[in-house]
Amino acid sequence: MNPTDSRRLPLEGLKVLELGQLIAGPFATKMLGEFGADVIKIEPPGTGDPLRKWRMVEEGTSLWWHVQTRNKRSVSLDLRSTEGQEIVRRLVKEADVLVENFRPGTLEGWGLGWDVLSELNPSLIMVRISGYGQSGPYRDKPGFGVIGEAMGGLRYLTGHARQPSVRVGVSIGDSLSALYAVIGTLLALQERLRSGRGQVIDVALYESVFAMMESLIPEYDASGKIREPSGSSLPGITPSNAYLCRDDDYVLIAGNGDSIFKRLMGVIGRQDLATDERFAHNDGRSRHAELIDGAIAEWTRKRSRQEILERLDEARVPAGYPYTAADIVNDPHYLAREMIQTITTPAGRSLKVPGVLPKLSATPGRLGQGGPDLGQHTEQVLDELGIDEETRQKLRQGGII
């Protein structure tokens, strides 16, 4: 969205209090902020959110920070102090949504549990993201995204058979949990329109991953077989694989639709396979996946990746290749859909960042600016709460803010 665009954002007027750190909670509030919510991020004085020092750091701040924390106001506040806890309670009275991703029981220990906060503000929606959820025998165990990915079933399937499992190259468990947190928030806001009351949204990292596992459980229940890792192929869906090209690059081909398969076989000169009744539908093709993959691989290894992609595009066969960051930022389709945007950080650096999703036709989200400096908005927020200068000075002297 253009910074000068005057269109109303869909979450404008919504006040969100973020008590989380690192990935899952802050990713959820990032999305809410992109669509107009006023997100107040609480960070510990002096150090701030640990994400400020994660991955590549320039001029003391993570480059990731300018994606994860855009459109937020930063307030430095010691949540372990009674004074800091009281300020949170005052903020809660005016908030619509509170998002936290501490270990279960942490907020209760600070006098900031649901029983206390919902009494202060019955319409409050409290989003709680944790490794294992707010109940169950594992609730008190620490859990990061990679553990959720493992317990949720994804890690076992990622990689090649009989080799150590590999992780997805990003924090997918945290990000999936953030998406569920946003969905839950929007559902709870809709319910609040009817009842006027808030509720708790309980998101567990492992469950967010588990929900993506498609037919894993019913297949096991029906057959007793455990789905195994399969490298670049997709078992039971044929053909869908990575194929080596003449120039040692790989091309990804998804020819698993019945009519698409026939067009693909026509391109590679295998009309005999296209017309073979055994391969008319996916179940038959999957029983002969090795034969079909072999025929495709024989064709691709004699051609360059560019030639293969051009031929398959002409035949309307889905194909592509694994994009690097360089491929992404230079791709005309990414650029045409405004998925690569440029911001100016507080330090004055020009920085490319991902665009905003989802795309709304009438009320699109805003890109905004990079992540705020630690405590950049503390005085502004305390002023909005009506906290006088004398009290603020005492809070500063005590290291509370």
174 is known as an active-site residue:
yes
**CA dihedral over 75, 81, 82, 85, signed as positive or negative:** positive
Which member of 174, 272, 293, 313 is catalytic?
174
**Interatomic CA distance for residues 27 and 205, integer angstroms:** 13
Q: 239 preceded by cis ω (within 30°)?
A: yes
User: What is residue 176's DSSP assignment?
Assistant: H
Q: Which two tokens stand for residue 292?
A: 């079909």
- Which residues make Cβ contacts (< 8 Å) with residue 227, sequence separation at least 6? 157, 216, 219, 220, 235
Q: Express the helix, strand and coil content of the chain in percent, nearest 5 each.
A: 40, 15, 45
Q: Which two tokens stand for residue 344?
A: 């100016």
**Interatomic CA distance for residues 56 and 37, integer angstroms:** 28
Q: C-alpha distances in angstroms, 200 versus 123, 126, 144, 188?
A: 11, 5, 21, 9
Q: C-alpha distances in angstroms, 192 versus 123, 138, 182, 199?
A: 7, 31, 15, 9
- Which residues make Cβ contacts (< 8 Å) with residue 322, sequence separation at least 6? 250, 252
Residue position matching structure tokens 């053909």: 239
Give the torsion through C-alpha atoms of 311, 314, 318, 324, to 10 deg: 60
- Which residues make Cβ contacts (< 8 Å) with residue 210, sequence separation at least 6? 151, 152, 153
- Helix boundaries (H) for 160-235: 172-195, 205-210, 216-223
**Interatomic CA distance for residues 105 and 92, integer angstroms:** 18
**Interatomic CA distance for residues 388 and 150, integer angstroms:** 49
Q: Which two tokens stand for residue 284?
A: 């038959």
Give backbone dihedrals phi and psi of 310, rounded to 5 degrees, phi first.
-65, -45
Q: Which two tokens stand for residue 377?
A: 């908005």
Which residues are known to be catalytic?
Answer: 174
